[in-house]
Every structure is written in C-alpha cells, then in structure tokens.
Structure 1
C-alpha cells in the first residue's frame, strides 16, 4: 500500500534534535546520579577498564542496565500511546485501553504467584510477553471482523477487565503476605536491580514492536478521515490493525515485562508533543518515542534522588507527574480535538 502526500511536518523544526539531546542528557544523568555520584571522568575511566573496580561495578552492573531499560520502556510506551491515539482517534487511548498492559501484568503475576519466576530470570518476562500476545488473540476474537476502532475499544475494555480480575484474584488467594507483597511491588512498577539479562530480554521485543508501529505512519493519517476515507486511499484496514496490535502486544509486553506496570507515560507524552507538530498522527510517532524515553528515565532519576527511607516505585512517580500535566493540557486544548 502506498499513500501519496507530504511527509509529516513539525511545527518546531528543532524538536527532534532537542529531544535527541534530551535523551543523551538524561541517559548520562541516570548513569551518574544516585546515592554515589559519578563524574564524567570516572565513568569514562570505568568504561575504558582503567577505573576503580567499585565504580565499574556500579556503572556497568547497576546503572547501565537500569538506564537502558528506562529508555526502552519509556520509548515503547510513548510510541504506543501516540499510535493508539491516532488509530483509535481517541485522545485518552494508551496501551492499557486494549488490555496489553494489564495482560502483561497478569502474566508476571502468574509467574510470581506460582513461583515460576524462581526457575530462571527470563521466565517472568516470557510469561508477561506471552500473556500480552494471548490478550491480542482474545481481542481479535472478541472484535471479530469489525474494522471500527469502537469495536477494538470495547473488546479491549473486556480484555483489560478480565486481566485485572485475574490479578485481583491472585492477590486475594495469595498463599502468604510475602507473596502478595511481591506481586504488589511488581505492579507498582520499578526498574531497580535490573541486569543486562533483562535488557537482552526486552530489547528484541521493543525493536520488533517499534518497527511494526513505525512501518506505515501515513496509514494513521488516512484513518483520521474515517474507515471509508482510509479505504478509498488504499489502506488495508485489516492488515493495518493486525500490524499495530502485534506491535503494541510485542513491544509493550516486552517493556512491561522487565519494568512492571507503569502508567500515564503513553497517555501524556503525545499530548505534550502534539502542540509542537502539525497535529497529524504520523508527526507524533518519533517525537513521542523520544519524549517517552526522556520522561520515564527522568522520573527514574527523581526516584533515586527523592530522600525516603525506601525507594519510591517508578509507577507511583509517573502517576504523580502525569496527572497534573495531563489535566493541564486537557483543559488547555480540549477545543482542538
């Protein structure tokens, strides 16, 4: 399928360069800031193999994996939110709308509840990804042949509710308080104590998911005209829906599998980016990917710097950051939708 038309335009041409610089800045800050601050010189020396062994261990075994997972998870959530808001033509759409986030969380909860996560570090992420893919199969079965976004939204609500009920059941029947605490801790979202093993688990899923979501951005612009308008422009609605749903399931499933349930990133990032573009869905995709990486990694830096007896969970911080920003932009721009 080919669509004619001009490429997406950014209202501020410096947006992508600035976001790219912001990604680099937050990545360096994430690796340098924490209970023990590491200067640029010490980090360079550690990476070169000539630094102190303790600094090298902190940098390579603790902070580098945490930074990479923060960037990948934020990028995937931001991109998924922008894609779903364009495809569903709904400013409140995000990965949880289609049940991908809740289904991934259910898979992780199953791994924790039955002790499967103790078998190998990869078991929890693999079950989370498998649950997300299973949710997409159920989503298509419930939505049927309908090409309307409304059918997907209603089916997504059913899938998300079912997954949420499964999580609640696991908490209700947890064999001991420690199991319930472990499940609740994961559901709050955190990228603390992650290793490079988690990075290699999530990376293929995020790359494949992002590639599927970015494969045909002009199809999202055509869908803004409605199903009939998009079909008249040559958009294969069934193929587009399958590609996007697989992209969300694989990408978000892999990201959430190693980070826990983190909300609001996919919801608010497109709203922050939209005023700086021509408001076409395709123009939001790459900026939202970069913006999500900046937002989530920045929130993780705050988690480490806020003085508390126990480290705050990342999902809690993103919720506190996200709600005021989202409400502000909603009140400011509601007439533009």
Structure 2
C-alpha cells in the first residue's frame, strides 16, 4: 500500500508540473518556472500564472473529485459499474449551464455560467433526496438518480431543439464536451470551497463503506447509520461533481474507470480505494489535458471527448470481463 501511495503521488506531481510546462507557447523549463515564481510583469508570467496554473489546478481538483466520488459511489452501491453521474448531479448541473447559455444569462457576467450550473446541481440534489426519501434503500437512490438524470437530459435536449440562435446551440454543444481551456484562477476559487466540503464528506465514508461489504444488516449491527451515510454520499458527490461540471463542463468515465483499475491493487477495502482513486483520477485528467494540447493543438480537442474515447473501451472490457466470470 505504501508503494502504491508513493507511485501515485510521484505520478500526480510529475503530471502536474508537466501540465505547467507543456503548451503551445514555446517556453523553456527554466524560464517557465522563473515566470511562475517571479513576477516580472512580462508575457511569460501572464501565461504561467493566468493560463497554465489555473488549468493544471483544475485538472488536479476535478480529476481527484471524480475519482473519489466514483470510488465512494461504487463502494456504497457495491457495484463496479456505478459512477458519479448515476445520481443525476452532473446532468442537472449541465442543464443549469445550458439554460444560462440559452437565455443569455451566461453573457451577463463572467461567472453566470458556473453559478447557473451549481444552481442546477443543487436543484438536482434536492429532487433526488425528495424522491428517494429519508429511509429509502440504495435501489431507491439509484432509481431516483436515473429519473433525475433522464429528466435533465430531456430538458437539455429540449433547450437545444428550441434554441433559435445557432451560435448559442454551438456554444452549448461545445460546453457539454468538457474543457479546461480559457479557465482562470477565478474558476479555481469558485470550485475550491465546494470541492473541499465534498472531499470532507466523502473522505469520512471509509469505515461505513468497509462495513457495507458485509451487507446492510451487518453494517447496521456494527453501528453504521445508513441514512447518514447515504446523505453524506449524495451531498459530497453533489459538491465535487457539481463544482467540477460548473467550471469545466461534462467530463465522463473518470469516476468509473479509475476505481475499477485500482481496485485490484488495494484489495477488498473501499476505504483504501477512496484515496487511491482520488490520486488516480487526478493523474488521468492531468494526462488527458496534456494530451489535448499535444495531439491536436490547432483543433481544440475537448477534454471530455478524449476521456470518453479512452473510457468507453475500458467500460466495454469491464462488461466482457463480467460476462466471462458468469459463464
């Protein structure tokens, strides 16, 4: 376990500095680091502090959030196919942002779009909790999440269908693909408080998730409050996924793929998988964000598109593996 922790930490730190140093602006390593730490008022300082640093920080934060939320969701539902979008928070956040673009609110001030996405995520959480009920089971939570996610997707499609402005429709489509381009430190500070609350809630689920591996009845006998556990899970996931979707758009498959890849390395301990998936998610999003700048730098390849291209084959591999195990 110690070796895995060291490997993941070194990988994340290396990718973080790689994200800072790689970009279309051809700046040497020494000049880049100097511009990052010493403000000389030049163009290189602007590039490092206002373009590359926020992008690297958001990739780190969003990747860790999605990985952590995915591990927590799979541990609670005891299903390796579960992922953060299952409870509909990301879809609700996306609908809030799409509605802001469609109505023109997003053009009123710089933070109108992320604030609208956060409002959509909050509404989605309240609706899920109302549908699931205070004493509902995990199955009830899944059904409520699927219902909210389907409703949000339908409303998003309706907005696209009724959009009279082709430029607004194009902006909606591109935003839903997910990207970290053109983000600033303002977006970092907007997402950070929500993600900090989400990390605190999800990070405290380890003991309860370990107990759930024995079943809900055994977990209750061990003193685990399932209602409180579910509330912490939903609120924590809403905070991290809602904040991530608000500032970067929809970035899928991270919360599904990373816990699945790391689970064999941590054993049957959901509590260990939480921190491992957080580091693994950060590494995956940092790698993907570096790749979109290297593979097609002139075509603005979207981050969400790349993670889907990588995640979908792994998802299919997981399905085939489960089918072979049942034969």
For residue 217 of structure 2, the aligned residue among 197, 216, 228 is: 228
1:34 and 1:329 map into 2 onto residues whose CA distance is: 34
The residue aligned with 1:87 is 76
The residue aligned with 2:227 is 238
Unmatched tracts of structure 1, length 5 or more: 1-9
Q: Conserved in 2, the CA contact under 8 Å of 1:129 and 1:249?
A: no
Whose helix proportion is higher, 1 or 2?
Answer: 2
The residue aligned with 1:312 is 301
Q: Aligned residues, how many? A: 325
The question of 1:258 aligning with 2:255 is answered no
The residue aligned with 1:167 is 156
Question: Is the alpha carbon distance of 1:27 and 1:128 closer, same or farther for their aligned partners in structure 2, counting shifts above 3 Å?
Answer: same
The residue aligned with 2:104 is 115
Q: How many Å apart are 1:327 and its aligned residue?
A: 3.1
The CA RMSD measured in Å over matched residues stands at: 1.7
The residue aligned with 1:5 is none
CA offsets per residue over residues 68-126 of structure 1, 9 Å max, x none? 11111111011000000001111111111000110110111111111111222222212
Unmatched tracts of structure 2, length 5 or more: none
2:200 and 2:215 map into 1 onto residues whose CA distance is: 24
Q: How many Å apart are 1:244 and its aligned residue?
A: 1.1
Question: Is the alpha carbon distance of 1:111 and 1:301 closer, same or farther for their aligned partners in structure 2, counting shifts above 3 Å?
Answer: same
Q: How many Å apart are 1:52 and its aligned residue?
A: 7.7
What SS is found at the alignment partner of 1:14? Answer: helix
Question: For residues 20-99 of structure 1, what are the structure 2 equivalents within 5 Å?
Answer: 20-49=9-38, 53-99=42-88
The residue aligned with 1:148 is 137
2:16 and 2:43 map into 1 onto residues whose CA distance is: 20
Runs of 4+ in 1 over 6 A off after TM superposition: none
Q: How many Å apart are 1:290 and its aligned residue?
A: 0.7
The residue aligned with 1:270 is 259
The residue aligned with 1:216 is 205
TM-score of the pair, normalised by structure 1: 0.92
1:48 and 1:93 map into 2 onto residues whose CA distance is: 41
TM-score of the pair, normalised by structure 2: 0.95
2:120 and 2:256 map into 1 onto residues whose CA distance is: 22
The residue aligned with 2:118 is 129
Q: Conserved in 2, the CA contact under 8 Å of 1:26 and 1:297?
A: yes
Q: Conserved in 2, the CA contact under 8 Å of 1:106 and 1:131?
A: yes
The question of 1:138 aligning with 2:110 is answered no
The question of 1:178 aligning with 2:162 is answered no
